[in-house]
Amino acid sequence: MVRKSALVMLVLLVIMSTVGCNANTAINKQAQSSVPEKIVVQAPMAPPTAPLYKMAQDEALKGTKIELIIYKSVEEATTRAAKGEADLTVLPLNVAAKLYNKQVDISLANVSTWGILYLVTLDDQVGNWQDLSGKDLYVGAQGSTPDVLTQYLLDRSGLRKDEVKLTYLGSPEIAQLMINGMARYAVLPEPQVTQVLLKNSEARVARDFFKDWQSFEGDSTSLPQAGMVVRNEFARAYPKTLAEFQSSYAAAMEWTVANTAEAAPLVEVNMNMPAQIFIKSMERTRMFFTTGSQAKSDVTTYLARLLDFSPEMVGGKLPDEKFFLAD
């Protein structure tokens, strides 16, 4: 009787285990095939955000609402991303690498911004980086993409750190100083470059960061400045929705670049940017969609140069293969 009872118990345990496994498999399959009610996307007040407004307006994702959060600082964005409070986040690539190296469970879904930084000056005697020796140069927040690339280009141009004084402010504040003639040398992204050029007749573009990057790294290289990271838990739970988002974002970006006049009213309403400034700024904005895995070579080169120059800019090491979301 004891042996018979033991055998019965063993059979019951096997059945329960099988049922449990089947249930878990069913739940996982259901999660992968289901559609989330909404996707939380956070982005800065910058060119890559314009296509997101287009997507939201067109209700690009079937059955899923896009909740767009516009962040005011990188610190705000990284805090939200680290807490898992956003499904997708537009970030400077060095910041994305830092987060990943801090064990935040994210992957690089796409790269969208490939060169929107310029050296702007009110001094017609400045044409090269070497001409800034002894000058005060205004640059975006310390540790930001403008700061990182400015230091890199100054260094590669043979200037020591103490030869150019860097003053850090937000790009909008720097633009206003230049418009008022209170700053003569500045590193600015679009659309602030266009704002300055339109409002101060003495202002001109002295250097294009994208072209300078290629002069040092080769004509076949690109300058991947910003992209979008995805929360891996979201990617695993909703792979079809993520794929649909990627495709829709690529299409919206292509439409925005090709139809700036039509996109301008949407940008003016949602981003508080005059249509004229948006249209002109897109002439100097290199924006196109590439998946994270497709951009791997350019991203790795970019991060490797920053690592050599200043390891803390990328979190002390290059991110491994898992940083790039598989297509």
The per-residue pLDDT for 33 is: 53
Rg (CA), the chain: 24
Same domain, 106 and 239: yes
**53 CB contacts (<8 Å, ≥6 apart)?**
68, 266, 267, 270, 271
Question: Alpha helices of the chain — where are they, by DSSP H?
Answer: 2-33, 50-58, 74-82, 93-101, 145-156, 171-179, 192-199, 209-217, 232-237, 239-258, 260-271, 275-281, 296-309
Domain count, the chain: 2
Host domain of residue 56 = 37-114+224-323
Same domain, 305 and 243: yes
Indicate the residue type of 116: I
The per-residue pLDDT for 14 is: 43
Q: Centre a 10 Å sphere on the Cβ of residue 62 and count the other Cβ atoms it contains.
A: 9
The CA distances from residue 295 to 33, 96, 167, 291, 300, in Å, are: 28, 14, 32, 6, 8
Q: Are the C-beta atoms of residues 100 and 319 closer than 8 Å to each other?
A: yes
For residue 23, tell me if it sits in a domain: no
Q: Do the bridges between strand 136-139 and strand 165-168 make them parallel or antiparallel, or are there none, so unpaired? A: parallel
Q: Three-class SS of residue 166?
A: strand
Same domain, 128 and 102: no
Q: Which residues of the chain have pLDDT under 70?
A: 1-33
Q: Single out the residue in 172, 193, 217 at which a domain terminates.
A: 217
Which CATH number belongs to the domain containing residue 251 in this structure?
Answer: 3.40.190.10
The per-residue pLDDT for 34 is: 85
- Label residue 161 exposed, middle or buried (CB < 10 Å: 0-12, 13-18, 19+): exposed
Q: Are the C-beta atoms of residues 66 and 41 closer than 8 Å to each other?
A: yes
For residue 246, tell me if it sits in a domain: yes
Scan for tokens 């310390």, then name that residue: 142
> How far apart (Å, rounded) are the C-alpha atoms in residues 62 and 159?
53
Q: Do the bridges between strand 88-92 and strand 38-43 make them parallel or antiparallel, or are there none, so unpaired? A: parallel
Which of 42, 52, 46 is CA-nearest to residue 281?
46
The per-residue pLDDT for 266 is: 92
Same domain, 261 and 272: yes
For residue 14, tell me if it sits in a domain: no
For residue 47, tell me if it sits in a domain: yes
Structure tokens at 41: 């996307």
Distance of CA 25 to the CA centre of its chain: 35
Q: Which helix (H) or strand (E) holds 110?
A: strand 106-113
The per-residue pLDDT for 161 is: 83
Same domain, 61 and 78: yes
Same domain, 43 and 55: yes
- Label residue 168 exposed, middle or buried (CB < 10 Å: 0-12, 13-18, 19+): middle
Q: Centre a 10 Å sphere on the Cβ of residue 82 and count the other Cβ atoms it contains.
A: 15
Q: Single out the residue in 175, 195, 217 at which a domain terminates.
A: 217
Q: For the whole model, what pTM was predicted?
A: 0.85
The per-residue pLDDT for 10 is: 44
For residue 188, tell me if it sits in a domain: yes
